[in-house]
Amino acid sequence: MAKQTTYEIRVRELLDEKWTDYFLPFTLTCGEEDTRITGAVHDQAELFGILLKIRDHGLQLISVNPVKRL
């Protein structure tokens, strides 16, 4: 079983529920001024895949951080 890392990616825009399917298996959580896209990836390629989706929609990337599992 490959090691998985959970990442939290933040974008500037608020995204509504129709974006949920698009970012699966990541989950979306809307804050007041940003959206957090959270999920586990198997490898860097998966991570960059999500980042490219963000780029291609003209969304603004704020941060990408690994999340420690509790």
Partner 1 sequence: MYNYPVENLLPTKFFLPPAPTGFVARPHLIDDLDQALKHRLTLVSAPAGAGKTTLVSSWVQKSREKGVAFGWLSLDDSDNDLERFLEYMLASLEEGGLTLESVAIPAGLTGDSQMKSVMADFIRGLMGLKREMILILDDYHLIQNKEVHCAVEYLVEHAPPCFHLAILTRSDPPLRLARMRVSGYLTELRMDNLRFSVLEAGEFLEKAAGLQLTQTDLTTLTERTEGWVAGLQMAAISLRGREDAAAFVAAFAGSHRFVFDYLLEQVLSRQAGEVSEFLLKTSVLERLSGPLCKAVTGMEGSGADMLDALEKANLFLVPLDDERRWYRYHHLFSDLLRLMLEHNFPGVTAELHKRACRWYESHEMMVEALHHALSSGDMQLVAQIVSANVLVLVENDEAVPTLQKIDSVPESEMITLPWLGIARAWVMGAGQLQKSRQVLDAVEKSLESIPEGVERQRLAGHIAAARAFVFSVMGDKENTIAQARLANELLPADEIAVRAMTLTIWGDMRSDDRRHDPATMPILEQAMALALKAKKPHVAMIAAAALASANLHAGNLGELHRVCLEALAIGDEYQKRYQRPLSASANVYSLLARVLAEWGENEQAIQYARKGLLLSESWGQLDSEVMCLNYLGRALVFGNDNEQARQVFQRALATAENVSPWYCEMTIAYTLDSLLDSDNPDAKEIIRQKRLLKQYGVRNANILASRLLLWENQPEQAIELLEKELAYLQGQPSFDIVRIHCLLALAHQARGNLKPAIDSLRQALVLAEPENRVASFVREGEAMERLLRLVRVKLITPEFVKKLLATFRSRKKYIPEPSHTAEALVEPLSQRELEVLGHLNGPLSTPEISEQLMVSANTVRTHIKSIYSKLGVHGRSKAVQQARELGLLVQ
Check residue 19 for interaction with partner 1 (CB under 8 A). Answer: yes
SS3 22: helix
Query: HSE of 21 in the Cβ direction (CA atoms, 13 Å)?
Result: 1
Q: Is 3 in the site for partner 1 (CB under 8 A)?
A: no
**Number of alpha carbons in the 13 Å side-chain half-sphere of residue 16:** 1
> Tokens 């809307």 sit at which residue?
30
Closer to partner 1 at the Cβ: 6 or 38?
38
> Minimum distance between the CB of residue 67 and partner 1, rounded to whole angstroms?
23
| 25 binding partner 1? (CB under 8 A) | no
Indicate whether 59 belongs to the interface with partner 1 (CB under 8 A): yes
